[in-house]
Amino acid sequence: MTLPPKSSLAALAALALLGGALPAGAQTMILRGGTIHTGLAGDQTAEAVLVRDGRIAFVGRAADLPPAPDVPVLDLKGATLFPGFTDGHAHLDGIGWRELTLNLEGSTSVADAMARLTAWAESHPDGPIIGRGWIETRWPESAPELGQGPRFLTAADLDAAAPGRIVLLGRADGHAVTASSAALAAARIDAATVAPSGGEIAKGPDGKPTGFLLDAAMQLVAGLRPQADPAALRAAYQAGFRVEAAYGWTGVHFMSAPWKDIPLLEQMAEAGEAPIRVYSAVTPDGAEALYASGPRSVADGRIITRAVKFYADGALGSRGAALFAPYSDAPETTGLMQTDTAHIEPLLQGALRSGIQVAFHAIGDRGNASVADWYDQAMRAVPKTEWKNPDLRWRIEHAQILRPSDYHWFADLPIIASMQPSHAIGDFHFAPARLGEQRLNGAYAWKSLVDLGVIVVGGSDSPVERGDPLIEFYAAVARRDLEGFQGPDWRPEEAVSRETALKMFTLWPAYASFREAELGTIEVGKRADFTAFDIDLMTVPAADIPHGHAVLTVVDGKVVYRRD
Ligand SMILES: [Zn+2]
């Protein structure tokens, strides 16, 4: 991934230019001057949209616009307008913190990442150093003792770059962290420490921890992170909102939303500080309380909390994804399960009885099959008459590696597949090594699922990935990396059409959040959520898609981002 980030400071600068032709806070306007893709079947287009009080009052030919002399006109100036794009899987807190802590995204080598750490340490001389975003898969440095492939960051790297400091640097996938020696000492992790179940403390040939902590073992150093004070937390969410609006997202499905943060998000929305929609699936510590309260919604549905997210396994890159057969490049392991039937069944049954949606992280074929089986067991165990809402819409997050014989679960139960196209074009650089040829048949199988009638929600998993809707859309339709590369094992037949890709980021996330009657297409009566890009995603050559930009983000008829 070599494109420069488009977020951050540029977004802040652009946000300051808001307003222009329209009165501040206007929720009534005419949009015209560019192609309008309505998202309706057959890729229907229009020339003009009239918005009144935040809702779509007219869509059609400009010549047919009803007379509206009082209504301000927003000229698209050739940009292309779409229904509001929604990121079906993102971590709003992490996106915000990425702006406020050491960001190692895009580092090209161990040396590059460590140079960034040294610079950060010099400009932040006090306190622990928290960073994330490194990914070793394309780094040139390798570990001779491993005999192959790029290596993870180690405590020795961190100690050399920031001597004596407590440093925690998270891998981009969020499933591993490297701790410095000072951090290991502060957390009392040494050669004798046993990893918690579902985790691993990597040890070197000398038996000492290397600093690399996988999955549940990350909890051992969690206490070293400075407890965010309320003002810092609010600033992080504000930064997350700014970044998302500037990418063109009108909403995010906030996965693993910390239960303790929900009241803050609700306050921010009521104070007018939530420019885009947030649909949350909360951390498991909030499950019982959410079951008791039922779905929550504030500020006219701007912040909705009605799902809980659980974890079945880890990630493929760090070999935490649970597989039926051993990893092809590590025959001693089949990955790590994070929960079991006895623990999860009561929680799933509680969700059925309280009308709370379930979202379950599952990456490996064993992880996914286990979740499908748990869903099925819970649905059999609780009589339908006791389901609070029979319209379940339960989801699996990622659904990356499936046995083709398990596809039917998604169509039959049914299960919504929440998938991230950018994961595929990043992971395919190492997935063939991890999985071998045969298991790639069920890898990132978007088209196979869509063809079975499964709802496939598109997301970015930002900050695991950049979080740019154009990268996601491109990955979904091209199934090539950002350099245009496609390996022989990439299963190009699983790419989707542009019409399908559009649904993955508009109508289907609306459905997955129970809002398809209000959101997801440009139709009279629906809420006026729009995203405009400076390219037409439906017609430009695929290779051009990631080079476009969002130029306009409208939520409830209000401009929340505009790039001039
Ligand atoms: Zn995620």
Per-residue pLDDT tens digits for 118-128: 999 999 999 89
C-alpha of residue 122 to centroid of ligand 1, in Å = 31
C-alpha of residue 174 to centroid of ligand 1, in Å = 8
Confidence (pLDDT) at 365: 98
Confidence (pLDDT) at 42: 87
Residues 320 and 458 in one domain: yes
C-alpha of residue 225 to centroid of ligand 1, in Å = 20
Residue 110 belongs to domain spanning: 103-222
What dihedral do alpha carbons 448, 454, 455, 461 form, nearest 10°? -50
Confidence (pLDDT) at 226: 77
Per-residue pLDDT tens digits for 26-62: 799 999 999 999 999 988 999 999 999 999 999 999 9
C-alpha of residue 356 to centroid of ligand 1, in Å = 19
C-alpha of residue 304 to centroid of ligand 1, in Å = 18
Confidence (pLDDT) at 229: 78
> Is position 305 within any domain?
yes
C-alpha of residue 26 to centroid of ligand 1, in Å = 34
C-alpha of residue 465 to centroid of ligand 1, in Å = 9
C-alpha of residue 11 to centroid of ligand 1, in Å = 23
C-alpha of residue 219 to centroid of ligand 1, in Å = 17
> Is position 340 within any domain?
yes
Confidence (pLDDT) at 333: 96
Confidence (pLDDT) at 24: 66
For 389-420, give one letter per residue: b (16+ CB within 10 A) or e.
eeebbbbbbbbbbbeeeebebbeeebbbbbbb
Supply the CATH number for residue 357's domain.
3.20.20.140
> Is position 52 within any domain?
no
| Pairing outcome for strands 550-555 and 530-533 | antiparallel
pTM as predicted:
0.86
C-alpha of residue 357 to centroid of ligand 1, in Å = 17
Confidence (pLDDT) at 43: 85
C-alpha of residue 525 to centroid of ligand 1, in Å = 33
C-alpha of residue 493 to centroid of ligand 1, in Å = 25
C-alpha of residue 402 to centroid of ligand 1, in Å = 18
C-alpha of residue 45 to centroid of ligand 1, in Å = 33
Residues 213 and 295 in one domain: no
Tell me how far apart the alpha carbons of residues 19 and 4 are, in angstroms, rounded to a whole number.
27
> Is position 63 within any domain?
no
> Is position 410 within any domain?
yes
> Is position 317 within any domain?
yes
Residues 333 and 434 in one domain: yes
Residues 204 and 308 in one domain: no
Confidence (pLDDT) at 5: 47
Would you say 361 and 309 are in contact if contact means Cβ atoms under 8 Å apart? yes
C-alpha of residue 306 to centroid of ligand 1, in Å = 17
Confidence (pLDDT) at 270: 96
Confidence (pLDDT) at 160: 98
C-alpha of residue 460 to centroid of ligand 1, in Å = 8
C-alpha of residue 557 to centroid of ligand 1, in Å = 29
C-alpha of residue 90 to centroid of ligand 1, in Å = 6
C-alpha of residue 186 to centroid of ligand 1, in Å = 28
C-alpha of residue 482 to centroid of ligand 1, in Å = 21
Q: What is the largest CA-CA distance in the chain?
A: 79
C-alpha of residue 462 to centroid of ligand 1, in Å = 7
Residues 466 and 393 in one domain: yes
Residue 462, C-beta contacts closer than 8 angstroms, at least 6 positions apart:
87, 90, 91, 94, 95
Residues 356 and 474 in one domain: yes
80 beta partners: 533
Residues 477 and 350 in one domain: yes
Residues of the chain with pLDDT under 70: 1-24, 143-148, 227-228
C-alpha of residue 311 to centroid of ligand 1, in Å = 10
Supply the CATH number for residue 142's domain.
3.10.310.70
Boundary of a domain, candidates 190, 222, 254: 222
For 21-38, give one letter per residue: b (16+ CB within 10 A) or e.
ebeeebbbbbbbbbbbbb
| Pairing outcome for strands 550-555 and 277-282 | unpaired
Q: Which two tokens stand for residue 17?
A: 């230019």
Boundary of a domain, candidates 199, 222, 245: 222
C-alpha of residue 459 to centroid of ligand 1, in Å = 9
Residues 293 and 217 in one domain: no
C-alpha of residue 205 to centroid of ligand 1, in Å = 33
Per-residue pLDDT tens digits for 81-128: 999 999 999 999 999 988 889 999 889 999 999 999 999 999 999 989
Residues 297 and 403 in one domain: yes
Q: Which two tokens stand for residue 559?
A: 């401009």
C-alpha of residue 168 to centroid of ligand 1, in Å = 19
- Least Cα distance to 471 among 562, 550, 418 occurs for 550
C-alpha of residue 175 to centroid of ligand 1, in Å = 10
> Is position 237 within any domain?
no
> Is position 443 within any domain?
yes
Which amino acid is present at 336? L
Residues 216 and 310 in one domain: no
Residues 185 and 316 in one domain: no
Residues 370 and 457 in one domain: yes
Count the domains in the chain: 2
Q: What is the DSSP letter of 185?
A: H
C-alpha of residue 363 to centroid of ligand 1, in Å = 11
